[in-house]
Structure 1
């Protein structure tokens, strides 16, 4: 518009054509109106809420914008722009009277597994002719985790101390019936658990520390090397199987640890799933060849461990390694995600091996075998 104004005025003067000069001045006037319009910036506050912050693959994440006019005059229609992984989403906000408020919702384009950082939204408005645009960043940055899809799995019933007076550890959940030791009385403790003999000797109130008896621990190891997986999709299926085992252990209230062959470890359910949302395979990863190093501390310090290994195609060396490790664990489970015929795969002796071409089929095969 600015170039047209200059050219029209210059051409009108050169050709002595008043109509061209009039058109050029009209273009310049439109620009002047646009500048004056944008100088009167509306006073608005913007609050964005993203729910939920953690979703599984296939689920939708929504953002809700609440725009409030805190000025003394009516605000013009606005356009809010949100950018996620390079995709721009424009949300129109209607004109708001003084003190008015409007809430608009829109879906976020977060569908694949990953960690998404949602930058501040950009709030802007234009003049009536849409010649100029003025915007500013508003609200804060949010993070959305898209967790891998989870399938219902039944854990193998492994032997181990399950009786009410079985072995205990100090980190075990409270509220059980197994006596672990004595500790100082804390506000809220059941007064019936006060040990009066120890209280008399110590000079302070002492209470019995009872916990849930020790149970077989679950150790889930995901192979993050690139070699066993024929395609990136097969690795995605392996991640889903690993997440399914972690959720199954958490739902069964069994203590578990999650590790990868790249030496990353997560112990709680939420952190393990969030880590699985960003885990990636690496060509520099040794894979299951270094499994002994990854489980040495667990075997030496903990009794009653069920080892679950998730990988792609295994070779004879890995099968031999799992066979040698079998006496050190209550049981070893091997989940293989392969595109070839599962019947042709090697099955280590003493290891419960289940193969499938995708995570859905693996859950069917696994549950059919375990619930038999």
Structure 2
């Protein structure tokens, strides 16, 4: 047998590195070309974007009157008309025409303008939890013609009050009353009041804003404390510290004169007796300063009611200290409360809400919150029943030995007691009524 010899085709061998280099060259060339095109189109893009933003400012209010249901009906009408016309389905054409007519009729309810003056009043503006608060809305037609009937919506906290406003003659007015829920401490916003024009189907809705929101403060429940016990500071003229200074009120000792000393403090009688200049030294007096460190970290509280009790305790102490005229600072995570008056501290206490998530330890929070405050003579730490004694001690170590630190542990329903933990006074209260009695024992 003879063997058949098949001719072999020559193979072209291309190194892989050459392919990679060629691909990289193409990519770089494409990148350079795209950069050139982008630079040339940049002025055009700026003009187009500016015109688009200008047009959107005018188109957006028009599109905002269409509700989600209205967009659904419009899309359904357009789809039905297009599909019906393409496939010759009379039924779809009828459905599309019906929906289109409904949209046209609904849009007619948007036309017309009313001129109102709307006033919102809350009486009173500040209440305590559980007290009654009544709101009043006064609507006046300030136009020259009779207004059409409309609906007025007023957000109140998390709720929404709706009022059906009848047609009003020129300069006529009507008023509506509403109750504000005050069952929990909060800052309740009433408003803004808006009038709503639209159809009964809810396809279109035009909203006109008439007022700005106003605030109702629902203060926490507080209790009165003994005047001097609340501040935990007996000497309102200033407390003597162990720090030595060159000028103050409390005399400490005499020392030799050093160049630069104020000659007003030279003790001439002692200088004449010893034959060398002697100057007075003083113990520094510190103005009474109370700092309340209130933690709103939820992990330190067993329940929401316990958290509210802690806020009431802080507000009670701070209110009495302000009445006594002692300087005070109240800090919590991310918030320093205003303390220039009792009303301001109660208003800001309404804004204290539980803090969720990781917030670091108590020592870090207290250090950051108090580092810009005046040096305190008394520090009160307020937290829930789940804060450990070690956390209180870590906060205590931030302050000097001449600072009196007291911890208030709020344990809802527990018996009130006063304990000493390694030199730290820990006051435990189970109800707000325990606070005056236990605080009086702490001083």
**TM-score calculated relative to the size of structure 1:** 0.62
SS at match of 2:378: strand
1:65-104 residue pairs with structure 2 within 5 A? Answer: 65-104=137-176
1-structure distance, mates of 2:307, 2:158: 25
Alignment deviations for residues 233-275 of structure 1 (CA, whole Å, 9 cap, x no partner): 2112111211111111112121100112x36433524554444
Q: What is residue 331 of structure 1 aligned with on the other side?
A: 404
Residues 321 and 91 of structure 1, relative CA distance in 2, 3 Å threshold:
same
Distance in 2 (CA, whole Å) between partners of 1:36 and 1:316 is 69
Shift of 1:98: 1.9
Which stretches in structure 2 are left out of the alignment for 5+ residues? 1-72, 74-100, 240-248, 250-284
Structure 1: 5+ residue runs without aligned partners? 4-27, 168-178, 180-212
Question: Which of 363, 368, 385 is 1:289 aligned to?
Answer: 363
Verify the 8 A CA contact 1:339 1:357 in the aligned structure 2.
yes
**Residue equivalent to 1:265:** 336
**Counterpart selection for 2:349 from 276, 281, 298:** 276
Please report the RMSD computed on the Cα atoms of aligned residues, expressed in angstroms. 4.7
Instruction: Please list, as runs of the form range in 1=range in 2, the aligned pairs for 1:158-177 lying within 5 A after superposition.
Output: 158=232, 161-162=235-236
Determine the structure 2 residue equivalent to 1:318: 391
Q: 1:73 to 1:129 in 2, by over 3 A?
A: farther
Q: Which structure has more RCO (C-alpha within 8 Å, separation ≥ 6)?
A: 1
Distance 2:207 2:300 in 1: 50
**2 CA distance for matches of 1:271 and 1:45?**
31
Structure 1 residue 141 corresponds to structure 2 residue 213: yes
Counterparts of residues 1-372 of structure 1 (less than 5 Å): 39-109=111-181, 111-124=183-196, 135-154=207-226, 155-156=228-229, 158=232, 161-162=235-236, 215-260=287-332, 262=333, 264-268=335-339, 269=341, 271-279=344-352, 280-290=354-364, 293=367, 297=371, 302=375, 305-313=377-385, 314-318=387-391, 320-321=393-394, 328-329=401-402, 331-339=404-412, 341-342=414-415, 347-358=420-431, 360-363=432-435, 365-366=437-438, 369=441
Structure 1 residues 70 and 336: alpha-carbon distance in aligned structure 2, compared to 1, 3 A threshold: same
User: Whole-Å Cα distance in 1 between the matches of residues 234 and 224 of structure 2?
Assistant: 24
**Offset, 1:297:** 4.6
Moved more, 324-333 or 138-147: 324-333
1:185 paired residue number: none
Contact kept, 8 Å, 1:319 with 1:348, in 2: the verdict is: no
What is the rounded CA distance, in whole Å, between the counterparts of 2:398 and 2:115 in structure 1? 67
Higher helix share: 2
- Displacement after TM superposition at 1:219 (Å): 0.9
Q: 1:327 to 1:78 in 2, by over 3 A?
A: same
CA distance in 2, matches of 1:228, 1:346: 19
Query: Distance between the aligned counterparts of 2:200 and 2:146, measured in 1?
Result: 15
State how many pairs are aligned: 301
- Note closer, same or farther for the CA distance 1:294–1:340 as it changes in structure 2 (3 Å cut): farther
Cα distance in structure 2, aligned partners of 1:161 and 1:308? 17
Distance change in 2, residues 1:216/1:97 (3 Å):
same
The alpha-carbon deviation at position 89 of structure 1 amounts to 0.9
SS of equivalent to 2:299: coil
**Structure showing greater Rg:** 2
CA distance in 1, matches of 2:179, 2:382: 34
Contact 2:416 / 2:429 at 8 angstroms: preserved in 1?
A: no
CA contact (8 A) 1:151 1:244 kept: yes
User: Structure 1's 311 and 39: CA in aligned 2 closer, same or farther, altered over 3 A?
Assistant: closer
Q: Alignment partner of 2:298: what SS? A: coil
